[in-house]
Amino acid sequence: MARKPKALTPGDTLGLIAPSGCVQDADRVDQAAACLSGLGFRVKIAPGCRASWGYLAGKDGVRAADLNAFFADPEVDGIVCLKGGYGTPRILDAVDYRSAARHPKVLVGYSDITGLHLALARKCGLVTFHGPMPGSDMLPEFDALSRAGWLSALMATDPLGPLANPGADRLETLVGGTARGPLAGGNLSLVAATMGTPYEIEARGRILFLEDVDEAPYRVDRMLTQLRLAGKFRQCAGILLGDWKDCAPGEGRPSLTLRQVFEEVLAPCGKPVSCGFRAGHCRPAATFPFGVEAVLDADAGTLEFTEAAAR
């Protein structure tokens, strides 16, 4: 059974953490905090947000400690990830999952934050949220569609119902049919990277959401094929494909198209598959929960959440 956080309300305190990569400009941390304040929240900034260790936002111990501290802090109502990059896989075995289970809170982010989404789902059944991050998507301006969806998803105590594809038409049908089950997934690279670990994705009966950025079609092919060989597409109820920004072949190189990759790797699994959901490395982008019941109608091109994600 899913462990649900308390929905956010105006005036709540958000803990801003950087569990992945570091920011290039330290002023961006304060700008991100100011953006969250402008949305009606108080903000606590974790020490790791201003730290750096190579490409990481501080050493592993610092980043894990920030996350654990905010789950345990009674003054923090929700946790917002500053940005992605790389780093969450390095701290998954240092997260205090017992504390997260005792103190379930909204946690929102995407891209490399997929590592936390997967681990928190596996280890304590926590419902988390895939959505824009202040350091990546809210500066210099948070677009109106993404902003409205972000606030709606994180502050709702009722099921989100049908979720509009922000700024886009209906979803494209790759394989028709209807799938029902909890949504799970995130960034394909992270889903593949956690395979064979205690944090790998639970696909059975789930609708799998997948997106990525800066990956050539052959690499997308390789990662999807890894999931296929592991039985994930046989076990799942359906597949929802998000945004694939800059996932084009190198100039002058022979390549399949992404569409061909999806047709050859995913379609034979026989599960409903929809493409073109605007979530991930795009603007505008949807915000939605992982871990609660949804219905994907690949024929109609719709996604509907039928279970509340927060209490």
Q: Return the ∠ at Cα 117 (arms to 95 and 271), rounded to 5°.
A: 145
Catalytic residue at 103? no
Half-sphere exposure of 65 (CA within 13 A, CB side): 11
pLDDT at 309: 98
- Domain 161-305 annotated CATH 3.50.30.60: yes
pLDDT tens digits, one per residue of 47-62:
999 999 999 999 999 9
pLDDT at 253: 86
pLDDT at 111: 98
pLDDT at 168: 82
The residue extents of the domains of the chain are 13-155, 161-305
Which residue of the set 111, 136, 146, 189 is catalytic? Answer: 111
Q: How far apart are CA 71 and CA 15, in angstroms?
A: 9
pLDDT at 85: 97
- 46, 70 in Cβ contact below 8 A? yes
What number does CATH give the domain 13-155?
A: 3.40.50.10740
Which residue of the set 136, 274, 281, 293 is catalytic? Answer: 281
Structure tokens at 268: 């034979």
Catalytic residue at 211? yes
pLDDT tens digits, one per residue of 77-134:
999 999 999 999 999 999 999 999 999 999 999 999 999 999 999 999 999 999 999 9
pLDDT tens, N- to C-terminus, the chain (311 residues):
799 999 999 999 999 999 999 998 889 999 999 999 999 999 999 999 999 999 999 999 999 999 999 999 999 999 999 999 999 999 999 999 999 999 999 999 999 999 999 999 999 999 999 999 999 999 999 999 999 999 999 999 999 999 999 998 889 999 999 999 999 999 999 999 999 999 999 999 999 999 999 999 999 999 999 999 999 999 999 999 999 999 999 888 899 999 999 999 999 999 999 999 999 999 999 999 999 999 999 999 999 999 999 99
pLDDT at 251: 84
pLDDT at 252: 83
Provide the whole-model pTM.
0.98
Which residue of the set 20, 136, 146, 211 is catalytic? Answer: 211
